[in-house]
Chain A
C-alpha cells in the first residue's frame, strides 16, 4: 500500500490547531467550574539601571515595569547592574531600594548586592536587610572579581541563613564570545558551592542563569546534595525546560525537581518573551506551569 501523500504543510499545521480547538470545545461543552483567572508570574531575575556596555531597550524602570505588566508578571525580584562594577555598594543598594519604591508600582522587590572582594561587605548586608528591608542579596561572581572559592562565601551563606535572607548567585550575564575586549572574566565553577550549602542546610540560595557544565555533574551535585533553587533563563534548546523537570522514559527521575525551579527572564538584557515562550514550548500541564510561574517562588519568598 502506498503511504498517504504528505499534507501540504500549512494545512497540516492548521489541522493540528483545529484538533486543539476541538479538544477545547469538547472541554467547554462539559459542565465545568467558572474558569479561574490566568495565574500571574513571579519573575525572579530582572535587573535595573544601565547595562555598562550599551543601552537596553527597557533599562528605564517605568518602561520595564510596564513591559512586565503587559506579560502578566505580577512580581519581579530586581537586582542592579550598578553592582557589577561599582565599589560603593551601599550607594548602589540605596538607589536600588529607592528606584523600586519610586517606580516599581508595587511590582519590584529589591535584591541588593554585596561584593566579597570589597572590605566590610558585612555592613552592606546589614543595611540591605535592616535599612532597606530587602528579602535577599544578589552576587555577581566574575564581574565582582571573586569566584566561589572565596574564603568569605561560607560566612556570607551562614549570615544570610541566620538573617533569613535569600542569596541569588548569577553565573553569567552575557555570552563571553561577545564580551567587550577589555573584559576577561573567569568561568564560574559552581562546585565549591556544594559543600558550603551542605554545611548550611537552612540557607536559601538560588542560582541564576545557570546551565551547569557539559557533563551535568555540577547540576546533579547541587540537586542531590543541596537545597539550592534554580531559574531557567539559561536552559537553552528546544524543550529543554520540560526535559529537565519532567520524568524521563520509564518514569526516570528528572534531572531537576520541578518544585525547585522558578521563572527567571533575565530582563531587560533578554526579551521577557524568551522565558515566557519556554513555558509554552515544552508540553507542560497546568499544574506544572502554576508551580513554575508563581507557586515555587512564593514558597521561597512569601508575599
Chain B
C-alpha cells in the first residue's frame, strides 16, 4: 500500500484532497517532532509519515537546541539537530527555546543557534525554574536581540483554570505566561511582533486579551478543536493575525487542520492562516539564514 495514498477519496467526505492540502502551502509553526525524552530523532523520523500524508510543506520545530524541559542545557542530539536543520532546510526549520529567568544565558543561546546557527526564532516554553513570565522587565534584552536578528518570537501561553477561588490562569505553572503577559511585553516593543501561543489555551479569553494589541499574532495549536474558535478569532483579530501550528505528534494534524477547515474563512484567508502570515513575519530571517522559500 502506498503510504501516501488514501484508500478512499476525502472529497467524498467534504474534505480537501491531498493535492488541495498541498496547495494550501501549510507551514507547521508548532512542530514537536523532537520532544521525546528517550529517542527524539526516532520520533522525528516516525512522524514524517504523517507530515507527508497530510501535505505539510514546512515543519518548524520548537525544540532546536536543548529541550523544552531544560532549554538552556545542551541536549545529546544537539549536533545532529544542527546538521539536520541545514541538510533538510528545504522543509525543516528550527526555533530555539529560551528561559526568561536567565536572560544572559538565553541571549548567548540565541547567538549560538540563530546568529551563528540555523534557527529562525525563539520560544518561551510553558513555565520555568525561576517562575519568570515573559512580561518581566529582565526579558527585554532577549527581545532586543530577537528584534536585531529578525527572529520570530513565540510565547507559550495558557489560562488554566485553578486556584482558590478558581479563576483562569491561577492553574498555570510557575513562569507560564498568559496572553496578558504577552500584551504587557508587546506594549513595551510596539515595533516587534509576537506570537501568542495556544490562543491562551482558553481561546475565548485569549482572543479578548490580545485583541487591542496589534503587534500580537495568535497561534491556536495544542488545544482541543472547538467548533467556531477560528471564526471567532478571525472576526475579532482579522485573519492576518492568525498563525497555524500542528503541535504533532502529541496532537493530531487532523485536530489542528480541522480548526481551519471547519471555519468560514475564504480560501485566500485559509492560505494566510496555514502559512502566508508566518512567511510574511519570518521572511527577513528566512532570507538571512539562506532558507529557500516562496513567499
Indicate whether A and B interact.
yes
Write the residues of chain A forming the contact surface with B, with a CB cutoff of 8 angstroms: 6-10, 12-14, 16-17, 19-20, 23-24, 38-39, 41, 54-58, 70-72, 174-182, 184, 236-240, 267-281, 283-286, 289
Contact A274 B5 (CB under 8 A): no
Contact residues in A for B257 (Cβ distance below 8 Å) = 273, 277
CA distance A280 to B13 in the complex (A): 11
User: Beyond the given A175-B224, A268-B227, A281-B54, could you list 12 further A-B residue pairs with CB under 8 A, ordered by the A residue number?
Assistant: A6-B88, A6-B91, A174-B224, A176-B161, A180-B161, A237-B252, A238-B47, A238-B50, A273-B15, A275-B254, A276-B15, A281-B50
Closest to A69 in B: B14
Q: Is B294 an interface residue (CB 8 A)?
A: yes
Known contacts being A10-B57, A270-B226, is A286 close to B13, with CB within 8 Å? no
CA distance A38 to B159 in the complex (A): 43
Contact A57 B231 (CB under 8 A): yes
Known contacts being A236-B250, A281-B254, is A38 close to B165, with CB within 8 Å? no
Contact A57 B227 (CB under 8 A): yes
Contact B13 A38 (CB under 8 A): yes
Closest to A267 in B: B227
Interface string of B161-191 (1 = CB under 8 A from A): 1000111100100000000000000000000
Contact B1 A56 (CB under 8 A): no
Contact B7 A271 (CB under 8 A): no
A30 CB, min distance to chain B CBs, angstroms: 16
CA distance A10 to B12 in the complex (A): 25
CA distance A35 to B39 in the complex (A): 44
B27 CB, min distance to chain A CBs, angstroms: 10
Interface string of B35-50 (1 = CB under 8 A from A): 0000000000001011
8 Å CB contact of A7 from B90, B224, B261: B90
- B17-25, B70-78, B111-119, B213-221 - interface stretch: B17-25
Closest to B257 in A: A277
Contact residues in B for A285 (Cβ distance below 8 Å) = 1, 7
CA distance A177 to B199 in the complex (A): 13
B227 CB, min distance to chain A CBs, angstroms: 5
3 closest A-B pairs (Cβ-Cβ)? Answer: A277-B254, A271-B262, A9-B91
Contact A237 B7 (CB under 8 A): no
A13 CB, min distance to chain B CBs, angstroms: 5
Known contacts being A9-B57, A9-B91, A238-B253, is A20 close to B50, with CB within 8 Å? no
Contact B171 A177 (CB under 8 A): yes
Q: Is B58 an interface residue (CB 8 A)?
A: yes
Contact B252 A281 (CB under 8 A): yes
Contact residues in B for A277 (Cβ distance below 8 Å) = 15, 252-255, 257-258, 261
Known contacts being A237-B251, A271-B262, A274-B254, is A178 close to B201, with CB within 8 Å? yes
B114 CB, min distance to chain A CBs, angstroms: 21
A-B contacts, 11 of them at CB < 8 A, read: A6-B88, A9-B57, A178-B168, A184-B166, A236-B252, A237-B248, A237-B252, A271-B261, A277-B258, A277-B261, A281-B254
Contact residues in B for A180 (Cβ distance below 8 Å) = 161
CA distance A12 to B51 in the complex (A): 12
Write the residues of chain B forming the contact surface with A, with a CB cutoff of 8 angstroms: 1-10, 12-15, 18-19, 22, 25, 47, 49-50, 52-55, 57-58, 87-91, 158-161, 165-168, 171, 201-202, 204, 223-228, 231, 248-255, 257-259, 261-262, 292, 294
A238, A270, A276, A283 pick with most chain B CB within 10 angstroms: A238
Known contacts being A281-B53, A281-B253, is A269 close to B226, with CB within 8 Å? yes
Closest to A23 in B: B2
Contact A6 B158 (CB under 8 A): no
Contact A175 B2 (CB under 8 A): no
CA distance A273 to B252 in the complex (A): 12
8 Å CB contact of B12 from A19, A56, A72, A269: A72
Contact A8 B201 (CB under 8 A): no
CA distance A182 to B161 in the complex (A): 10
Contact residues in B for A19 (Cβ distance below 8 Å) = 2, 4
Contact residues in A for B14 (Cβ distance below 8 Å) = 70-72, 273, 276
Contact residues in A for B259 (Cβ distance below 8 Å) = 271
Contact residues in B for A58 (Cβ distance below 8 Å) = 227
Known contacts being A7-B90, A273-B261, is A278 close to B254, with CB within 8 Å? yes
B146 CB, min distance to chain A CBs, angstroms: 26
Contact residues in B for A286 (Cβ distance below 8 Å) = 7-8
Contact B8 A289 (CB under 8 A): yes
Contact B255 A236 (CB under 8 A): yes
8 Å CB contact of A20 from B18, B158, B168: B18
Contact B2 A20 (CB under 8 A): yes
Contact A181 B165 (CB under 8 A): yes
Known contacts being A237-B250, A238-B47, A283-B53, is A16 close to B161, with CB within 8 Å? no
Known contacts being A236-B255, A280-B10, is A20 close to B1, with CB within 8 Å? no
Contact residues in B for A271 (Cβ distance below 8 Å) = 225, 227, 258-259, 261-262
Contact B22 A41 (CB under 8 A): no
Closest to B264 in A: A57
B2, B12, B13, B250 pick with most chain A CB within 10 angstroms: B13
Closest to A172 in B: B224
CA distance A240 to B88 in the complex (A): 26
Contact A54 B13 (CB under 8 A): no
Contact B158 A177 (CB under 8 A): yes
Contact residues in A for B223 (Cβ distance below 8 Å) = 175, 178
Closest to A59 in B: B227
